[in-house]
Amino acid sequence: MTSHQVFPSTGFPAYPTIKLDAPAGWSQQVVPDAVGALMAPTAEGRYTANVVISVSRRLPGYQLQDIAASVDSFLDALPDAVLLGTEPVVINGRDWHVREARYTHPQAGSLAQFTAVTVVHHETAADIVQLTGSCQPTEGSDDLKAIYSLVASADVTPAS
């Protein structure tokens, strides 16, 4: 007899709920391999600041320090990478690993990439929620502040 399996279910839990406060003028975008993205208003000849929202599933027991090491390794491998300080951060009651890097993108030039990750544990899985913000770190630009604010608003809860 065939057994039907359903997503979401206890065996295949739904992804967490992710609530973010987008800065004024930012728009929602669908992007491949992500839950979605928020984009700053576009300006001719200028890199468009953005935050990509992704969720990936791991086996139970996967911890924040595991994804933190992976994030740091990825950022350190970017061209001309300079990793800025990191520290554990609590956002809306949830532990996050937050790291910023400055690097040189082949087409866009100097960029800042701000990555924040947290782990949502289920009985049968661990979900990694990742917010990755990118912008040009130009003098007087509010893009990086907007990314910081957006990440600071993150409210991530397990699906019920």
Averaged pLDDT for residues 26-34: 95
CATH of residue 118's domain is 3.40.1000.10
Distance CA 75, CA 72 (A): 5
- What's the token pair of residue 61? 């027991």
> What is the C-alpha to C-alpha distance for residues 152 and 89, in angstroms, rounded to an integer?
10
Average pLDDT over the chain reads 92
CA neighbor of 53 nearest in space, from 30, 71, 70 = 30
- Residue 117 in contact with residue 128, Cβ under 8 Å? yes
pLDDT given for residue 1 in this prediction: 66
pLDDT score of 14 more than 80: yes
Label the pairing between strands 36-39 and 155-157.
unpaired
What's the alpha-carbon Rg for the chain, to the nearest Å? 17
Q: Please report whether residue 49 resides in a domain.
A: yes
* Residue 123 vs residue 45, higher pLDDT: 123
Residue with tokens 């049968």: 124
Q: What is the pLDDT of residues 86-95, one digit of tens each?
A: 778 999 999 9
pTM, 2 dp: 0.93
What backbone phi and psi angles, to 5 degrees, belong to 20? -135, 145
Is residue 141, in this structure, part of any structural domain at all? Answer: yes
Q: How many domains does the chain have?
A: 1
Residue 47 in domain? yes
- In angstroms, rounded to a whole number, what is the distance separating the alpha carbons of residues 62 and 67? 8
1 assigned to some structural domain: no
Q: Is residue 149, in this structure, part of any structural domain at all?
A: yes
pLDDT in tens, 45-59: 889 999 999 999 999
Domain that holds residue 98: 17-157
